[in-house]
Structure formats: C-alpha cells, structure tokens
Amino acid sequence: MSRVHDETFRALQADVAELGMNRRGFFKLAAVVGGGLVLGTRLTTAAETDADGSGGQLNTFVHIASDGTITIYAPRPEMGQGIKTALPMIIAEELGARWEDVNVVTAPVDSASFGGQGAGGSTTIPREWNRMRQLGASAREMLIDAGATVMELPRDELVAADSTVRHGSGRFMTFGQLAGLAAKQSVPDPDGLVFKSRDEYTILGKSMTGVDNLEIATGAALFGIDTRLPNMLYAAYQKCPAIGGRIRSANVEEIKTLPGVVDAFVLRGNDDPRQLLDGVAVVGTSTWAVFEARKRLQIEWDERRASKDSWAQIKARAESLYGQRGRDVTLDKGNVDDVFRDNKNTTLAAFYEYPFVAHLCMEPMNCTAHYRRGERSKDSIELWLPHQFPGSSIPLLSREFNVAEERITVHQTRMGGSFGRRVFSEYVLEAVTISERVNAPVKLTWSREDDMRHDFFRVGGFQSIKGAVDPSGKLVAFENHFVGMQTGGRPVSGSSFGPKQFPLQNLDDGFVSRTMFGINTPCGPWRAPGSNTNAFVVQSFLSEMAHVAGRDYVEFLLEILGEPRWFEPANVQSLNTGRAADVIRLAAEKSGWGREMPVGSGLGLAFYFCHAAHVAEVAEVSVDANKKLTVHRVTAAVDVGPIVNMSGALSQVEGSIIDGLSTMVGQKITMEEGRVQQTNFHQYPVLRMPAAPPVDVHFIQSDYTPTGLGEPALPPLAPAVGNAIFAATGERVRKMPLTELGFSV
C-alpha cells in the first residue's frame, strides 16, 4: 500500500470510529477525505445492527479521487487464483468505470474493518459476488444523483459509463468532478439496486491481465520470501525427521562458532504439528549462512512418541480388505445384495489406490516476524506473512505469547502457491518464537526439504468398489468399501466418501462402508480435497461398468444423470443433472468423441461436480510399446455461471489440468518409521513443459450465481486420462501415480 493510501485509510478508520460506525454518517464523512468519494460495505445484516442503525464493520473500500483515479482495496489473499483482479472487476463493472482508471491496492489485514480476510475452497467469488455488485452499483447511483444536480438534468436520462456520468445530448461530467458531491448524496437502498445484465457488461467476461502481472514478470512483485527489513536476521529451523520427535541434545555451541551465525538454540514445542514442534533454530546474517550451518548440526532425537507410520504396512493392510465390507456402514440404500445375486445382472469389482502427495508450493513456507518488547508488558508483534487466512494468526499469537490482539500487526503478502498448505500457522509460530528469543526482526525460510518432509499432505487411501448392470446395460447397484485415514478418531481432511457422492443419489440400491486407519502423519486440504481422489475412483469405475455393459460412456453417464433436476438441497451449491449433462455433451462434441482413433491412441472422458462447479473433460492420449504416455490434448467443458475474468478463468482451468496430470503421472509421498522418504524434485518429479498438453477450454456461461474455479477442473483429469489409456491399450488404471504401473511421459 502506498503512503498516501495508507494515510487515507487510517484517517477513515479514526473518523469512522468517532462516528460510531453509523452507516449514513460514514458515507457523508467520505466526502471530506481526499476531496473524493470513498465507499464501503458492512459485514452485518440489518437484523444484526442496533435499533438506531449503528454498528457493523467495514470490508472493501472504493475511493474515487478528484483527479478521477479509482482505488479499490482488495482484502482477500492472492495466491495465484486471480482474486485480487476479479473482485475489483465486479465493482468496476457496476460502477460504470473504465478499467484503465482503476488502481487496485492490497488491503491491510484488519478484521475489524474488512471482516474475514481469507481465501480457500473456491468460495471467494460466490461469497463476494452480490456484495461487490452492490458496492459498485451504490456508488454509481450516487454519482448519477450528483450529476443530475450539477447538470440540472433528469436523473433517469443519465447513465454512468467510461468513468463519466453522461446524457444523450453529449453532456457529461467525470467521476472525479462529481466525487465530492456524490458522497453527500443519500445512500441507495441495497434492495432497490438494479444490476447490469450480461449483455451490458463492458468489463466482466473480458480477458483482463492480472493487476500484478507486470510486477511479477519484471521481478518487482513482493512475495513473503522477498521481505527485507532493517537489521533483519535470517533463520532456519531443524525439526525431527519423524513427526513428533523430541530433542535430547544438539551441538548448538559448535554451530554458534560457524561463519555468519549469530545464535543457535533449542526450542521446546508442544507436540502439535500445527503449532510448534521441538527443533533447533539457527540464526545468522543470511539464509545461505544458516542453511550451511544447519548441515553441521548433530542432534540426538528421542523418538519414543514420534510417528511410526509406514506406507508399506498401510498398503498391505488395505489390500487384505479387498472384497470385504467395513464395519462402519455409512449408507445402506435398497438391497444391493439381492441385485448382485441376480444372475441376470453383470457384476464387476475393482480395487483402487492413491498415494499421499505434497503441496509443493514453488515458494516454500516462510515468515518474517518482529517481536518487540515493550514497557509494562506491552509487547508487540509484527508479521510479513504469505498465508491463506493471515488474520487467523492474530488470536493464536495473542494466546501463545500473551500479547494483546490489537498489538499484533500482519502485513499480507502475495503467495507463491498454496493449494491448501498455507492454512496452517506452524511456520508463523516458529518465526515469532525465534524473533522473541533474539530480540530482532527475523525471516524464517524453509528449505525445499523442510517443505516436503513437514507438509500437511493430501491423504492417501484405497477403495474397494463393486457395481452391477442389468441386461439392458443400465447401472443398477453400486457399493464402496472406503479405506481411509484418521487422526484422534476423526477422518483427516479429504478422507471421506459420503452418501451424496455421485452416482449414489440417482440409484435405488447403494451401499457404503468404511474402515479407517489411525495415522500420525499430518494431513490437510489439498486442491479439491476429497474430490481429487474420489473422482479418480468413481469416474474410472463407471467407465469400467460402461465397458462391461457394452455401452458408450457418454450415453451411460447421461442415463445415470436422468432428467434435469437439482440434487438436494436444491440450490446453486448442489449438483444439477441438466448442467452436468450439458458439460458432458459439450466436452464430447468439442473433442470429437466417438471418432476412429489410430492404434495405440484413445479418448477418455470424465465428469465431476465439486465446489459448485460442473466440469467434464476429455483426454486424448497415445501409448507406445514402451508404455511412454503422450497426452495430446485435454478438452474441458465448464459451467461455473458467468465468467468474471476470462483470462483468469482460463488460467485456473489450464493450471488445474496441468497440476492434475503432474500429480497423476509421478508424484507419491511414502513414509517409513514416520519419516517421509521423498525430499526434493529428484524423488518427486514435476511435469516438464514438453509433456504438458494443449488445453482446450469451453465455458457455458449460464445465468446462475458464479462459483469458484481454483479447484473443480482438477478432479476429472485423472479419470479422463486413465479411461483414455484403457481405450488406447486395454489396460485399466486403478492406481496412481502412473509410474507405479510402468508408464512414463
């Protein structure tokens, strides 16, 4: 944030606090700030305000300066999903602004003013869609009121467009000229606002380059790892390779004598991987110095309470359950046993396996912290933090360090990827604890090895599936024994298969049971949690069932979907069979589904619904005699409602597909004696550019409320590729990664 905008914001905060947050008072106040119009929204509903209309909190701000500059504060964390560009586009569209006049500024982390400042689950767009439209439309109406007053023209003959209020006669005034007077107008009733229709859009639906793209391309953009402060020290933190190990001894005195090392010491943790584990901190004058010094550490670990997880043992135990049912029954619908016993029906059973995987953010975990000791216990903490929910660190730090929340400041930085990894705060606690110890600002940086060994992994698992088709080739029964993982008696993130899983909702006979293994390996959300593995299993197995039935998979899927309807609960967050059928048909059409393919080549289709998005994908592949796989093209059909930023939407779908393929081909995390076996890219390969296929994306721009795109295009990729491999070779893919089956790319 620039100095001018920072001072403007702080002035607003002080004046709003003095006014007691009265809604209309706030908007009238805005006229005097910078000689322009500043507009904000409140988080509370009318029912939550006091009887006199006071109370509430601010969220996003729009500032129209007298020179015509329109500044929009973006409160949500940017991690590559494009939200810093998309949300201001919604406001600017309803405002009637020229996008060239808009300056987007990252908002300070301040929940009292901006509310919850987090991003995840592909939920930011649907949550903010109406509020951003209201914000833009309210400002537009106030500008039109001001224009009608100054130009002495009927307001219903005026329109806001191109950052002006104009009349059909050609007369106009700029937003900058009207901003001061506009702030004195009555605030329109949100219920009376009329939003633009899609055919009136001049900004939304277009391709707009990201507001930070130039800075990123030129190296000027600042990520968390780029933070520099006066007198800053640098730190590395060595934890036990087996999660939960404690320190018995370490050669810290020797480490202190090494070049560039300022201090080295043992930190005692609380055994919670989400907070602080035992480790040795090395602090010095550069990241290089502390990384080099850490190589000389000699630590004796007490691993009696550490993880003993073994992937080999987990796998052997799961395989022994193939064909059995779990004791925990989560769905018993109809009578699958009678269907399976019916000799007229054809049954099929299969066993699927998928591994633990890492987030592998290009920017490893890092945090810069400055713990300042104050008089009379008035300590303070300041952070420069790449985090999906940066404000969540404030109450945690307040509790752990006994520092008042108002004395904790968090500066939100851009993230070099997250995919669910940066929802945890253990690296934040590490940085603050080290800073407190050395009484100086400290930047803690994890190495790639730290990042991989101490991740919160996508959980692995197994599914034993059985299905039946009747003589007409119709799917009539589906059974799943889900073998998942739990910690402390609760399933870890992404380790579930529920009764609402497709196709169970459209079948009369279904049965789901589960067996859960206890693990100590930390797991967490990974791009499209649960869906990224369940889609692989379900869409691969349904394709197997279609083949057994002798039917085309597109036809088979459409029959399962049935007539257009909403699944319960009937709202935009639920599967709509009509929207699902539309994307399946579109993907099939655009990919040339059903065409004759050369020997060794094949097409595979998969559909999945998650994060309120309907997505179908077709992969075109070829496999040679040495099992070298080439993915020639992936065609995607997507319905997430109206597209906000076409450029960002394409990037999200393309990125999800490449990410899904990279993960499917060769990525796997294993652990033995609690130790993660993979440490860097040589053991955990990332898809190289020559192997990345062209991605052909087609959007159905329906009129439903728009939903997010950061995750839903990933789950269909793996089953689409697996089904295509079967079409090309006759070999079924029931395990990931593909390298386990002898494939290469």
Query: pTM of the predicted model, to two decimals?
Result: 0.91
Residue 497 · residue 506 · CB < 8 Å: no
Q: What is the structure's pLDDT at 500?
A: 86
Looking at residue 4, its pLDDT comes to: 33
Pairing of strands 158-161, 164-167: antiparallel
For domain 224-305+365-445, give its CATH number from 3.30.365.10, 3.30.470.10, 3.10.450.710, 3.40.50.300: 3.30.365.10
Is the bond leading into 75 cis (omega within 30 degrees of zero)?
no
Return the pLDDT at 37: 64
Report the distance separating Cα 550 and Cα 220, nearest Å: 57
Query: pLDDT tens digits, residue range 14-37?
Result: 333 333 333 333 333 333 334 466
pLDDT at position 40, please?
59
- pLDDT at res. 571: 85
Question: Pairing state of beta strands 233-239 and 442-445?
Answer: parallel
Give the Cα separation of 605 and 632 in Å (integer): 14
Largest CA distance in the chain: 84
- Dump pLDDT digits (tens) for 673-709: 999 999 999 999 999 999 999 999 999 998 899 999 9
| SS3 label, residue 443 | strand
- In 3D, which of 742, 743, 738 has the Cα closest to residue 354? 738
CA distance 197 to 252: 66
- Find the helix or strand (DSSP H, E) in which 546 lies: helix 531-548
**What was the pLDDT predicted at 63?**
87
Distance CA 612, CA 704 (A): 11
Give the residue among 123, 120, 116, 60 at the shortest CA–CA distance from 395: 116
| SS3 of residue 192 by DSSP | helix
Q: List pLDDT tens digits, range 462-471.
A: 999 999 999 9
Strands 510-518 and 475-487: parallel
Determine the straight-line distance between the first and last CA of the chain, rounded to whole angstroms.
45
Give the three-class secondary structure for 186.
Answer: coil
Asked: is 321-358+457-741 a CATH 3.40.50.2000 domain? The reply is no
Please spell the DSSP secondary structure of 600-620, one letter per residue: TEEEEEEEEEETTEEEEEEEE
Q: What is the mean pLDDT of the chain?
A: 90
Q: How far apart are CA 426 and CA 429, in angstroms?
A: 5
What is the per-residue DSSP string for 290-337?
A: HHHHHTT--EEEE-TTS----HHHHHHHHHTTTT---SEEEEEES-HH
What is the C-alpha to C-alpha distance for residues 718 and 138, in angstroms, rounded to an integer?
Answer: 45
| Helix (H/G/I), strand (E/B), else coil: 428 | helix
Give the residue carrying structure tokens 């992969």: 619
> If we measure between CA atoms, which residue out of 549, 547, 557, 541 comes closest to residue 345?
549
pLDDT value at position 116? 73
Q: Is 547 exposed, middle or buried (0-12, 13-18, 19+ CB in 10 A)?
A: middle
Q: What residues pair up with 208 in beta bridges, in sequence order?
A: none
Length of the chain (residues): 745
Coil, strand or helix: which one is 448?
Answer: helix
Residue ranges of the chain with per-residue pLDDT less than 50: 1-35, 41-59
Are residues 340 and 468 in contact, defined by beta-carbon separation less than 8 angstroms?
yes
Q: Cβ contacts of residue 300 below 8 Å, gap of 6+?
A: 247, 248, 249, 250
Q: List the chain domain ranges.
A: 3-217, 224-305+365-445, 321-358+457-741
Identify any residues that bridge with 650 across adjacent strands, giving them in sequence order.
Answer: none
- One fold for both 3-217 and 224-305+365-445? yes
Using left for φ > 0, alpha for ψ between -120 and 50, and beta otherwise, residue 632 falls in alpha
For residue 239, which of 306, 288, 308 has the smallest C-alpha distance?
Answer: 306
DSSP for 124-135 reads HHHHHHHHHHHH
d(CA 168, CA 175): 17
Model pLDDT, residue 39: 60
Check whether domain 3-217 has CATH 3.30.365.10, yes or no: yes
Distance CA 339, CA 513 (A): 17
